A and B are shown apart, each in its own frame.
Chain A
């Protein structure tokens, strides 16, 4: 058998053996067997001297080419096996990525107060300063200064909580208007959030204690149109850009003219549904132009300034936004509910 055909056989055999290698050891064994120091091809190369000089160069070239080929096949296979081994190690470390992650506990803010703060943020953006007033108020600030006649129903023991001679738990945040105006000269632009109290029998829409936010803007030539503009922005910011508003005449002792603000229904957008009782509108707040008598009480010149005021029940907004139908739900402090909102 001549060298060439022997080399070709070795090439075939080596290639076949490399293919069946399962481990690095197998690869090494094949290398030793064929191209090691005493490998078959190595031995064949040593026989090159026996080839006629005319052919030697050519045969030598061929044998070396085969050696290179086997080397590279071996290297390739070694790499394949190494990769497979690494993957195997990693595979053993496989975890169930569908298991839940370690729980990071983050609490929730109370829905009423969250909405309250959203509302504050909107008005702060509109130039209002947010301040607070006391819950235990003088009857004077809560009623008289706000132009409630002495016999007005809400002054009654049936409607307001009294804690001392001339002191009530404020029935609305409006007395803060009086405090603010008594303490500073116009222009005044404030919102006042806080807890209020009324002697209502608790039901799906009433509580004895609830949150309100009051707004007041007094300056030269403040008009009902300005009030409407401010509240239009408020409605869009809180309820969404598509929200439409409607102003209706109403009655409050401390504003004249007075109005109620409706927004287009959050569910049906105005077409009529159960939430809005088919009217397409949801009542949101009461407002109006500050009554001149209120200005007189706080010592403002009612001929020189005008102003608007509004007051809204925060729970009502929270209920609309979160789809809560019973106001008491908000204060059961049920973590299942609070954490879901």
Chain B
């Protein structure tokens, strides 16, 4: 909302600067109030000039040579406009001036005559779109006066954000009321007094409302003998200050009244309304109307129209129809001042994508009781501008009249809510200044003005009181904030712990999109029927909620590879989603990704490529830190390398996640030239384990027996197969077991490998004898022999 500061003072006399007014407006709830930078530097070289002589051009019938008196000198101008006359005052662009059309003015010869300045149209003078005729200025203006001054443009303009609940402040009077209230000043509201003619409106038009819920009140006035022309220059300048577009003197006057009162008005050409009969009704399915913007709109039963007996003539509160538009030939007009339901207007404006000034205001609520006033105001202004006749009386169909709203407000309660001690009298005073009626007592009966649809209950009254009292005067009570103890949920605590550990392992945390493209999920074979679709996505790029973290991690790995990152190690703790009919499920997962060198290339280390076991090692470390036991079993999702993937299984056989290398083909599709390693783990097991506390184990009292054994087995035998046998045979006596060597090549036979294990056997209750260990070792050997066709390698 733009607030021309001088114009504002028509409604409240302020003795503060525009900057101070901004401060005050911000503290009243109008965010970002600021004085906008001077927009009128472009008019630096424009002045008022009087045409003292107008002659036709000898070489061109369409052109005229004009002597332009600028006070201090007279310049010649060659001009093609139809409306230049001797004695007329015009906007003159001097050499050096840049015109709204883009050209720069200079002395120029036009068909053999030197032109020293340019007489301007509204367009050339940066005012509006009117190009066909010269901007006519008030003849009383002193030639040479700067155009900015002559048009009254030289005033600061404040721009503020008005929150959607304050439709009443979408007019200058509303803003003035707020400032008047806060400073205790008088609000000046002009009394409109159009001069009525003898004709009575009842004899000329009638109005019926078919949907009283959507349109509880419809008022109208009729003006006759209107002559529709472009508005006076100063009126057009005012519209420009208001940020509105000039159309013609009728529409401009209506818009000016809207800008001041906040109430939109619409002018119809009465002679284009069939039978002069206005009907407010819902549109029929498929009914069409061409708006004054020239676009055709297809309507439906949810839309509200203003119609005559045969056709819609306007989309109610949103845009007028071309078929009833006020044009230069219009003689009789009907001005509509109506109240439409906020939600109806908002839906239409959104659905039809029409962002009109009227729709904006109706959607935020206007004052139903102000209709007679705004109509009279508009009639008076149009009469001033067009010298028309105003018909006596007013159409006012008001079936939706409701009793005024009263709210009970308890000063004590308000003070408790605000943490203040504002005296009752002061509370009453604040409310009265804002135009609320207050009947005092222990509880206040507050009459809410109809313009304040947002005030419904005591808390709303409290806000009004707080605004005028000043939010900055409310104490910051810190004592209560420190009076309790808080904690973090176990889910958040587990996430924190995981994040700290993963970062400590050298992984950087990333956050990837949870809304992803189905195509990407498909690439990974991760688009099950239970995936959660977004019904109204923005493009297909993000139309389904992710079902796994890997696609996002892969994208991060590849993007960073393409950015030239040599060594990439990342993790994400994020949610995945699915649905079972109407039951939605979302749960956290932990994703890890590695690619490139295992450490930065640096003088002292031999960097190598990350491999499967780097990632597996990290996963194992996480599991260890959380005291989780899991087995890695060959296998895993299809998007992983068939020989380099493992599933994690918990003790109960439940799947805890997977680790593996992305299929080379898939890497190729992403344009990666590396091997990419990813892991995705369930979050739940970590969450459950966080509360488990392991007890301290006693220092062993008896010596252990250390054995290194190496076995030669076929290449297809797994490390885990051997370990299983060792653990089964060793039972509780196995204190630790590490695979310390894997070897292929001579002297190991072809297609075989040697696996070497360091085992510590210990009995915690007695000294273990070497012979006992020999026994165990023999049993191990036997089973390896029988079950794995392997042999123990002798030193």
Contacts and interface: CB of A to CB of B under 8 A. Distances in A.
Interface of A: 99-100, 102-103, 105-110, 112-113, 117, 120, 123-132, 134-136, 149-151, 153, 156-158, 161-165, 167, 169, 189, 193, 195, 197, 199, 201, 208-209, 221-226, 228-233, 245-251, 256-260, 277, 279, 283, 289, 291-292, 306, 330-336, 338-339
B481 A127 contact: yes
Contacts of A283: 31
Given A128-B486, A338-B510, A99 B343 contact: no
A107 B29 contact: no
Contacts of B532: 136, 163-164
B466 A249 contact: yes
B346 A169 contact: no
A248 B477 contact: no
Contact of A197 (B463, B496, B515): B515
Interface string B449-469: 000001001111011001100
Contacts of B346: 151, 153
10 contacts: A103-B600, A162-B536, A224-B417, A230-B478, A230-B480, A232-B476, A249-B467, A251-B29, A256-B457, A257-B462
A222 B479 CA distance: 12
A223 B166 CA distance: 24
B503 A250 contact: no
A3 B507 CA distance: 85
Contact of B482 (A103, A127, A156, A228): A127
B317 to A, nearest CB: 14
B599 interface: yes
B535 A162 contact: yes
Given A130-B487, A163-B532, A251-B29, A108 B515 contact: no
Interface in B341-389: 342-343, 346-347, 350
Contacts, number: 264
A122 B34 CA distance: 34
Given A112-B511, A226-B477, 13 more contacts: A105-B506, A107-B503, A163-B545, A169-B545, A208-B538, A248-B471, A249-B27, A256-B457, A257-B467, A330-B511, A333-B511, A335-B563, A336-B563
B108 interface: no
A335 B486 contact: no
A230 B478 CA distance: 6
B60 interface: no
A163 B534 CA distance: 5
A78 to B, nearest CB: 40
Q: 4 nearest interchain CB pairs?
A: A225-B419, A127-B484, A223-B419, A249-B29
A161 B536 contact: yes
Nearest to A219: B480
A229 B508 contact: no
Interface stretch (B126-134, B149-157, B578-586): B578-586
B602 interface: yes
A120 B502 contact: no
B462 A229 contact: no
A291 B462 CA distance: 12
Given A248-B31, A336-B563, A338-B510, A169 B534 contact: yes
A226 B347 CA distance: 39
B49 to A, nearest CB: 39
A161 B488 contact: no
A128 B479 CA distance: 15
A334 B502 contact: no
A209 B515 contact: yes
B221 interface: no
B359 to A, nearest CB: 12
Interface in B493-526: 496, 499, 502-515
B474 A228 contact: yes
Contact of A221 (B416, B467, B482, B483): B416
Contacts of A125: 486
A106 B569 CA distance: 10
B477 A100 contact: no
Contact of A333 (B29, B31, B482, B559): B559
Interface residues of B, number: 95
Contact of A109 (B471, B484, B499, B538): B499
A279 B34 contact: yes
A153 B417 contact: no
Contacts of A201: 538
B740 interface: no
B586 A136 contact: yes
Contacts of B466: 224, 249, 257
Contacts of A117: 496
B488 A126 contact: no
A199 B543 CA distance: 12
B477 A228 contact: yes
A289 B474 contact: no
A107 B586 contact: no
A227 B472 CA distance: 13
A232 B478 contact: yes
A107 B603 CA distance: 21
Nearest to B585: A136
Given A306-B417, A333-B512, A247 B471 contact: yes
A65 B457 CA distance: 114
Contact of A120 (B482, B492, B505): B492
Nearest to B466: A257
A332 to B, nearest CB: 8
A123 B486 contact: yes
Most central of A134, A135, A251, A335 by chain B CB within 10 Å: A335
Nearest to B555: A333
Contacts of B475: 225, 228-229
A208 B541 CA distance: 12
Contacts of A251: 29, 163-166, 454
A134 B534 contact: no
B674 interface: no
Nearest to A277: B34
A134 B545 CA distance: 13
Contact of B504 (A107, A229, A257): A107
B83 interface: no
B146 interface: no
B235 interface: no
Nearest to A289: B417
Nearest to B569: A107
Contact of B569 (A105, A195, A229, A249): A105
B350 A156 contact: yes
Contact of B457 (A103, A127, A292, A338): A292
Nearest to B604: A102
B545 A102 contact: no
Contacts of A134: 584, 586
A239 B599 CA distance: 35
Given A223-B417, A249-B467, A189 B486 contact: yes
